[in-house]
Amino acid sequence: MKYVVKLGGAGLENEKLRMDCARAIVELAKDGHQVAVVHGGGVQLTKTLAALGKKSEFIHGLRVTDAETRDAALMVLAGRVNKSLVAALGQLGQQAVGLAGGDGNVFRARKKKTNPDLGFVGEIAATDPTWLDAIWKMGAIPVISSIALGFDGEYYNVNADEMASAAAVATRADALVFLTDVPGVKGADGAVMRWLSLKEIPQLEKSQVISGGMLPKLKACKDALLGGVKRVRILPAEAAFVLPDLVHTRVNDGTEVMVA
Binding-site annotation: residue ranges for substrate = 41-42, 63, 157
Distance separating alpha carbons of residues 47 and 60, to the nearest angstrom: 20
The number of CA neighbours under 13 Å toward the Cβ of 226 is 9
C-alpha R_g of the chain:
17
- Report the SS3 class of residue 260: coil
Residues 6+ apart with CB under 8 A from 250: none
Give binding residues as ranges: 41-42, 63, 157
Which residue in 156, 154, 161 sits closest to 61, CA to CA? Answer: 161
H or E segment at 3?
Answer: strand 2-7
Distance separating alpha carbons of residues 231 and 259, to the nearest angstrom: 9
Residues 6+ apart with CB under 8 A from 162: 123, 124, 146, 216, 219, 220, 223
230-233, Cβ contacts within 8 angstroms, sequence gap of 24 or more: 230/174, 230/175, 231/174, 231/175, 231/176, 231/256, 232/175, 232/176, 232/177, 232/178, 232/256, 232/257, 232/258, 233/175, 233/176, 233/177, 233/178, 233/257
In the chain, % helix, strand, coil (3-state, to 5) comes to 40, 25, 30
